[in-house]
Structure 1
Amino acid sequence: MSGNGPDGVEALSRGMTVVPGAPPGCRGRLVERARLEWRLADGGDPADLAQEFLAAHGIALHDLARPAAHQSEGVCGAALYLSAAAGAHTAGGPTGASTPVPALPDLVVVVHQHARGPVVPPAARPAAGWWLGDWRDSWTPRQHADAVAAVRAAIGRGDVYQVNLVGHAAAPYAGDPLPALARLAALPGARYGGTLAGLGWAVGCASPETLIALEGGRLVTRPIKGTRPATAAGRRELLASAKERAEHVMIVDLERNDLARVARTGSVRVDDLFAVRRWCDLWQAESTVSAAPADGLGLAALLRAVCPGGSVTGAPKLAALAQIAALEPVGRGAGMGALGWVGPGRIDLGLTIRTAAADAERLHLWAGGGITWGSDPAAEVAEAAAKAAPVRALLAAG
């Protein structure tokens, strides 16, 4: 575990990255004040460590039910990243296969404060010399399809109701990966578009999905389940699909239960069910679930309740995590975790789908989908490829 000040991170991560969820009015005048990086091998509970580190730097998130005002001076808030493996650890489930990006921490907390004047970012690095090699998948389409069949068999035995399977791909690169990762924020529908970086690693996010937010005094999650091409016919097919709706409602129920663990009694509600939204060239079904936080609810308990996200695990969550650990040959790394902003009166964490990571040699990408009894293996393989395609294309652009 390491906690270091701003001198220990790359200059670009302080001046040119844009953290998803940061207050819009503060962007452009934030500087890094302190940083915590933690890995599973360090031991301990990352949710507790995050809350304690934030409190030590003036960000008290021990009672989210109490109104808190954002300050225009001094400490603003913090970027927070939590890997899927760290989320599984907090939930008491198996953490899965080893990460393909060991340079990337499992928890990152970066405290930012307001600068006295506008922050002048370092000069943008030239894109010349950028080269991205061929992607190599960690499993073949046949292996992916066999994993789908294995999940269907587990459902048939009654072990699980739904499991989200995720594949990984990596490609060698030359040049500076940060401009390529930053481009992901421009993808249509990238509600959590942004980047986070440290020594030897970087993450770029184009996620449309809210894992957890604090909005108007209520906790909000927006699970996404159900995908079709963004055509008129695709929209009709998605709305008419009994399989997609059943899969979606199952995850909505899981998210309702997750929030109920940390909510004021009787306050959980579904505000919007199976709304169709667009991300790049895909339609996706999204619901909104909200609840009032229970008195005394802290950030650590909230993270333990909602991580890892139900839409990227399955139901029941712990049983789904066991299937994921048994079937996925490569860890989820930066994918299927949490990335966003926490601060006084503000929590806005996206689920890191449509997310890529860089180490010193390769770019990494994850994509997958939810498997139910009605899933067709070939269709699931095609859906994962469709989700990855826009991200791959933009990363390759010079």
Structure 2
Amino acid sequence: MSIFTGVVPDPPGVPALCRGRLVEVDRLEWRVGDGGDPAALAAAFAAKHTGPHEAGRCGVAVLLSAAAGAAMIGGASGAPTPAPAVPDLALVAYGHGPERPRPALGAFEVGPWKASWPAADHAKAVVAVQEAIARGQVYVANVVGHRSAPWKGDAAALAAAVAAVPGSTWGGVLAGEDWLVASGSPECFLTIEGDRAATYPVKGTAPATIEGRTELLESVKERAEHVMIVDLGRNDLAQVAVPGTVAVERLFGLNRWADLWQAESTVTARLEPGTDLAGILRAMCPPGSVTGTPKLAVLDLVGGLEPVGRGPAMGAFGFATADALRLGVTIRTVALDSGRAHLWAGGGITWRSDPETEVAEAEAKARAVTGALAA
């Protein structure tokens, strides 16, 4: 029996009516190299399995890696993933079953963690991005590091600890035969209700103190980084929006995740009639807040800088129903295979970035997750 059998499948974005009642009825797993268009595969699978609740259908869990998002737009997929057991696209269709109690959680252990690159190499990658900015190749680019650790024990308990990090409004879990992804994400990537679409980019980080809040609000670098990503979100939505309907409803508001302040904006639009899921995914993926701009140039740049791939991190994770789509960004996300836990963390690099500060920021983001697992 798989070590992941029995993990309660509660992806982010599941309607309240369905929580605790999900019963898997079908599954599709796709990896880079399998051939085919992941956006078209996702659209066809969702069309087949979303329908009225009265018919016993709940919806489809969607897990989409950074590499799958890049494939949708013809971008570079980067280095190979360090967690190849995890698919680049996982779609799981659910029906309604009887409500069931949560199983008791057991014990688990994780650690010690080993980084895929030393801090000095991370800092060098930051400098390389700044050199690309000087050449006019990119404006802002995310650089992401990876670490892994041995783990043992109750996978469900480990996943629950990740999803319960304070501020994880887009936390959730999905598992396969030999893999599990647990997200403690604070970032909503995309919501669609009827013809209204919205994206909520998170960019800008500071310690969750009074001083940190003031520093973040007054930082020229953090605000510039944030506004460039908001503009990218506006451009992405405009590809599938009724002209003139893209609007920024909230700009640079602060939310708390674990021990950090994060800046978030809200960009909305009205979708063009007839826009399908494949078109939406191609317009929006991979998430702009964890790539940078211009997307294709950034994917090409960071793919040559990061020593390992991003796996299921820096992608999208959520739930599709007949009348809605709700996806979070897979930041603060852990992937499990049979032997190791994998975690990614990074940040946006601009001309004003300080390499050592950027490395420290990535460490702070990772530390909130590793700390929850140690506790």
TM range (shorter): over 0.9
Q: Post-superposition, which runs of at least 4 consecutive aligned residues in structure 1 deviate over 4 A?
A: 7-10
Is 1:124 aligned with 2:104? yes
Alignment of 1:161-200 (within 5 A): 161-200=139-178
Q: Tell me the amino acid that sits aligned with residue 78 of structure 2.
A: G
- The answer to whether the 8 A contact 1:17-1:182 is kept is no
Contact kept? 1:152, 1:372, Cα under 8 Å: yes
Deviations 1:138-196 (A, max 9, x none): 11010000000000011011111111000000001122333112212221111111110
Mean CA deviation greater in 32-41 or 251-260: 32-41
CA distance in 1, matches of 2:264, 2:4: 36
**Deviation at residue 72 of structure 1 after TM alignment:** 4.3
Is 1:41 paired with 2:30?
no
Amino acid corresponding to residue 106 of structure 1 in structure 2? D
CA contact (8 A) 1:72 1:114 kept: no
In 1, Cα distance between the equivalents of 2:151 and 2:218?
42
**Superposed counterparts of 1:44-55, under 5 Å:** 44-55=36-47
Distance 1:367 1:10, change over 3 A: closer
In structure 1, what residue type is equivalent to 2:81? Answer: T
AA matched with 1:352: T
Match of 1:244 in 2: 222
Q: d(CA) in 1 for partners of 2:2 and 2:243?
A: 45
Once the two structures are TM-superposed, the CA of residue 350 in structure 1 deviates from its matched residue by 0.3
User: 1:7-59: per-residue Cα shift (whole Å, max 9, x none)?
Assistant: 9995414xx231110001221222111111111121111110111122233x2
Secondary structure of the residue that 2:241 maps to in structure 1?
coil
- Are the equivalent residues in 2 in contact too, given 1:201–1:358 (CA < 8 A)? yes
Does the residue aligned with 2:235 lie in a helix, a strand or coil? helix
TM-score after normalising by structure 2: 0.97
Counterpart of 1:390 (choices 368, 371, 375) is: 368
Q: Which digits, 9 at most, give the CA deviation of each residue in 1:311-350, with x for residues without a partner?
A: 1111111111111111001000121011000011111000
State the TM-score, normalized to the length of structure 1: 0.91
Counterpart among 308, 332, 347 of residue 330 in structure 1: 308
Residue 69 of structure 2 corresponds to which residue in structure 1?
87
Unaligned runs of 5+ in 2: none
> Please, which of 256, 274, 277 is the counterpart of residue 278 of structure 1?
256
Report whether the alignment pairs 1:366 with 2:344. Answer: yes
- RMSD after superposition: 1.6
**Are 2:83 and 2:337, in contact at CA under 8 Å, matched by a contact in 1?**
yes
Equivalent in the alignment of 1:100: 82
Q: Does 1:263 align with 2:255?
A: no
Q: 1:18 aligns with which of 10, 13, 21?
A: 10
Q: Is the 8 A contact 2:46 2:320 kept in 1?
A: no
1:126, distance to aligned residue in structure 2 (A): 2.3
1:344 maps to: 322
- SS of residue paired to 1:327: coil
Structure 1 residues 72 and 187: CA distance shift in structure 2, 3 A: farther
Paired residue total: 375
Q: Does structure 1 retain, via aligned residues, the 8 Å contact 2:66–2:315?
A: yes
Alignment-mate amino acid for residue 220 of structure 1: A
Deviations 1:278-298 (A, max 9, x none): 111100110000101111101
Q: Deviations over 1:348-379 (max 9, x none)?
A: 00000000000011000000000000000000
SS in structure 2 opposite 1:12? coil
CA distance in 2, matches of 1:227, 1:56: 40
Report the secondary structure of 2:221's partner residue: helix
- Matches of 1:178 and 1:150, distance apart in 2: 40
Tell me the percent identity.
Answer: 55
The answer as to whether partners of 1:181 and 1:395 remain within 8 angstroms in 2 is no
- Go from structure 1 to structure 2 and tell me whether the alpha carbon gap of 1:360 and 1:10 turns closer, same or farther (over 3 Å shift): closer
Q: Contact conserved, 1:219 with 1:291, CA < 8 A, in 2?
A: yes
Counterpart selection for 1:111 from 75, 90, 93:
93
Paired residue for 1:137?
115
Corresponding residue SS for 1:42? coil
Summarize the alignment of residues 295-310 of structure 1 with structure 2, pairs less than 5 Å apart.
295-310=273-288
CA distance in 1, matches of 2:266, 2:38: 27
* Unaligned runs of at least 5 residues, structure 1: 1-6, 61-69
SS of equivalent residue, structure 2 residue 151? strand
The alpha carbon displacement at 1:215 in A equals: 3.6
